């Protein structure tokens, strides 16, 4: 059942799943709508938080 909920509340921009619609909306505000002042120096991708940028660098660029 939890998997179904997370599939229902999936971010269209990045594919992340959330337990509730409210958590999805909060994610969208921070990750995709709010100022993306955290820019990746390797590829130029923008992020709403330093943690998201760090996670991106680890996953995508192995930094």
Higher pLDDT, 21 or 33: 21
Q: Cβ(49)–Cβ(36) under 8 Å?
A: no
SS3 breakdown of the chain: % helix, strand, coil, rounded to 5? Answer: 50, 10, 40
Position 32 pLDDT exceeds 80: no
Instruction: Decide if pLDDT at 16 tops 80.
Output: yes
Contact 15, 32 (CB under 8 A): no
Give the pLDDT band (50/70/90) at residue 22: very high
Which domains are delineated in the chain? Answer: 2-33 (3.30.160)
**Rg value, the chain, Cα:** 13
């Amino acid at each position: 059942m939890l998997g179904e909920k997370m599939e229902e509340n999936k971010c269209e921009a990045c594919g992340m799943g959330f337990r509730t619609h409210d958590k999805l909306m909060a994610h969208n505000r921070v990750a995709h709508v709010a100022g993306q002042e955290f820019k990746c120096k390797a590829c130029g991708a923008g992020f709403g938080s330093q943690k998201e940028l760090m996670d991106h660098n680890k996953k995508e660029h192995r930094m």
